Amino acid sequence: MMGYVPASTCGDAIASSTTSASDQYKTSTTTGRAMPARTTPVGTRRTGSSAGYDCDVLIVGGGIVGLSTAYAITRAAPGTRVLVLEKEHGPARHQTGRNSGVIHSGIYYRPGSLKARFAVQGAAEMVEFCAEHGIAHDVTGKLIVATEREELPRLHALIQRGRQHGIPVSELGPSQIAEHEPHVRGLAAIHVGTTGVCDFGAVAGKLARLAKDGGALVRYGTEVTAVDRRPGAGVAVEVAVAPQAGASSQAAAGRTPARTSVVRARAMVNCAGLHCDRVAQLTGDVPPARIIPFRGEYFELDSAREELVRGLVYPVPDPAFPFLGVHLTRGIEGGVHIGPNAVPALALEGYDWRTVRPRELAAVLAHPGTWRVARRHWRYGAGELRRSLSKRAFTKAVQRLLPEVTEDDLVPAPAGVRAQAVLHDGTLVDDFLITEGQHAVHVLNAPSPAATASLPIGREVAGRALEALRATAR
């Protein structure tokens, strides 16, 4: 028997089922994956509007975007049964917990883009959210510093853009740069008033608690492994439930197999970050872009040299690669982070060169966009690789902004991996990308500044998910 779970126990399906998948799954004709051989089709046990379903909206991914979406649904439509499934044993274990912690002002983004709208609005909301919930944050402002003449026109264009967005910017000459940052050198700079820092991991944790207070269930250690979509009815999702972290030495050694279960939902939201394209494919939808994982490596300033940097210092971004360019960030906990660079990761969660997952790597290499990016941008790539493999080269890049820094001042710090969506023709998707399939909403590109923008993004995704619910009910 497949583990059918009454609708009233939304999410308890995951906690209770001990069913083995092997004898109960057949191949789906839509996705070619092992799928539940359903004893009761989704939605047939209806006695009320939600009978037959374990929940209304199932959200895949407990990063800041998934949790913000859950929170937004519980606020916009109280009573909607929301279930968040996260494969790790806690929230924010990937991009959300491994970033620069900067509340971006939104100054870089093209007017009219989702990034511009959600970042400008999201930055203000993030500051309010942190203040309201006692999460450490600071609106420090930041300097964007031109160190070469050829960067000056781009710096001036940024001033115009900032003003278009209503962001407070002021122009600085070399002596004014020194007033803000005595050890930083540049030809000219702008000061952006609304940039800040916070702990996005803590924000995600708070969003999870608020969503739970609003009636949502958040299950950790549960990975979505297959999806069976029934047009007009909803989705049945196969879930692998990992043994509790630290539950037993056997489990810790990976000898206890994951249990599987099936959860039925009227609509599904895919906020799976680095895995979002794969999860979209599980539903049978064809994502217009694939994720290429780019690792961002950091150093931190040795504590004895932290006085070299007071706040946030950025180079003028290259419009082709706005996320490139090593910057200096005094984080909310006081230390100074330097980085990140951007090198191809050899696994979706490849936080160092030793982590290689051949199957994930093969999928990335099979994407035609990967080769086109490589051909088009190999020069940049080579520079980033050099700075990854040579601390001396990395230090040299930092010295452009901070001439006094030496190799000995830099201490390696944990890396993050960016989920960058890339089209088949090799174009890096610049804007946030949210698409819809039947009974499904997919967040397919949520790179920086998506943590800053997570509150408005969550509302946007929630609105689309509620619309998908209404479509199922019709």
CB of 202 to ligand FAD, least distance (A): 13
Query: CA torsion, points 458, 369, 375, 447, in degrees to nearest 10?
Result: 10
Minimum gap (Å) between residue 44 Cβ and ligand FAD: 26
CA distance 5 to 252: 28
Give residue 133's identity as a one-letter amino acid code. Answer: H
Cβ 298 to ligand FAD shortest distance, Å: 7
Smaller CB separation from ligand FAD, 205 or 273: 273
Pick from 340, 344, 456, 458: which binds ligand FAD (CB under 6 A)? 340
Please tell me the chain's helix, strand, coil percentages from 3-state DSSP, rounded to the nearest 5: 35, 25, 40
Pairwise CA distance, residues 275 & 252, whole Å: 24
Helices 378-389 and 391-399: crossing angle, nearest 10°? Answer: 110
The helix-helix angle for 64-76 and 454-473 (nearest 10°) equals 60
Cis peptide before 168 (omega within 30 of 0): no
Which residue stretch of 37-45, 101-109, 365-373, 388-396 sits at the interface with ligand FAD (rule: CB under 6 A)? 101-109
Among 56, 151, 181, 223, binds ligand FAD (CB under 6 A): 223
User: 272, 332, 373, 469: which one contacts ligand FAD (CB under 6 A)?
Assistant: 272
Nearest to ligand FAD of 85, 405 (CB atom): 85
Q: Which amino acid is at 186?
A: G
Q: Is 100 in the site for ligand FAD (CB under 6 A)?
A: yes
Between residue 127 and residue 166, which ones bind ligand FAD under the rule CB under 6 A? none
DSSP state of 428: B
Q: Is 102 in the site for ligand FAD (CB under 6 A)?
A: yes
Q: Is residue 65 within the footprint of ligand FAD (CB under 6 A)?
A: yes
Q: Does 350 bind ligand FAD (CB under 6 A)?
A: no
Name the residue with tokens 């959300």. 96
Instruction: For residue 434, give the nearest of 264, 256, 288, 219 by alpha carbon.
Output: 288
Is 52 within 8 Å of 306 (Cβ atoms)? no
Binding to ligand FAD (CB under 6 A) within 398-457 occurs at 416-418, 446-452
Closer residue to ligand FAD in complex, CB, 74/95: 95
Q: In the bound complex, what is the minimum distance in angstroms from residue 173's beta carbon to ligand FAD?
A: 27
* Residue 138 Cβ vs ligand FAD, minimum distance, rounded to whole Å: 14
Residue 404 CB neighbour total at 10 angstroms? 11
The span from the CA of 430 to the CA of 453, in Å, is 15
Please state the closest distance from residue 286 (CB atom) to ligand FAD, in A: 18
| Binding segment (CB under 6 A) for ligand FAD, from list 24-32, 91-99, 431-439, 463-471 | 91-99
Kindly tell me which residue out of 95, 261, 341, 388 binds ligand FAD, with binding defined by CB under 6 A.
95
Site string for ligand FAD, 291-330 (x = CB under 6 A): -----x----------------------------------
Which residue's Cβ lies closest to ligand FAD?
A: 63
**236 Cα distance to chain centroid:** 25
The Cα 116–Cα 167 span in angstroms is 11
Question: Toward ligand FAD, which CB reaches closer, 145 or 271?
Answer: 271
CA distance 302 to 1: 59
Asked if 273 is part of the footprint of ligand FAD (rule: CB under 6 A), the reply reads: yes
Pick from 58, 70, 158, 224: which binds ligand FAD (CB under 6 A)? 224
Residues 24, 28, 99, 195: which binds ligand FAD (CB under 6 A)? 99
The whole-angstrom separation of Cα 196 and Cα 340 is 17
CB nearer to ligand FAD: give 53 or 314: 314
User: Smallest Cα–Cα separation from 344: which of 419, 249, 236?
Assistant: 419
Q: Does 94 help bind ligand FAD (rule: CB under 6 A)?
A: yes
Q: At what angle do helices 114-133 and 454-473 cross, to 10 degrees?
A: 110
Q: State the minimum distance, in angstroms, from the CB of residue 315 to ligand FAD.
A: 15
User: From the centroid of its chain, how far is CA 255?
Assistant: 30
Q: Does an H or E element contain 207, and which? A: helix 200-213
- Taking alpha carbons only, the member of 141, 183, 135 closest to residue 162 is 141
Contacting ligand FAD within 160-219 (CB under 6 A): none
**Nearer residue to ligand FAD within complex by CB, 151 or 360:** 360
Give buried/exposed letters for 219-247 (b at 16+ CB in 10 A, else e): bbbbbbbbbbbbeebbbbbbbbbbbeeee
**How many chain residues interact with ligand FAD (CB under 6 A)?**
42
Instruction: Give me 287's structure tokens.
Output: 């994502």
CB 210 within 8 A of CB 202: no
Q: Which is nearer to ligand FAD, 66 or 287 (CB)?
A: 66
Q: Which one of 27-35, 93-101, 132-140, 307-315 is the stretch in contact with ligand FAD (CB under 6 A)? A: 93-101
Q: Does 82 bind ligand FAD (CB under 6 A)?
A: no
Which residues of this protein are in contact with ligand FAD, per CB under 6 A? 60-66, 85-88, 92-96, 98-102, 104, 223-224, 271-275, 279, 296, 340, 416-418, 446-452
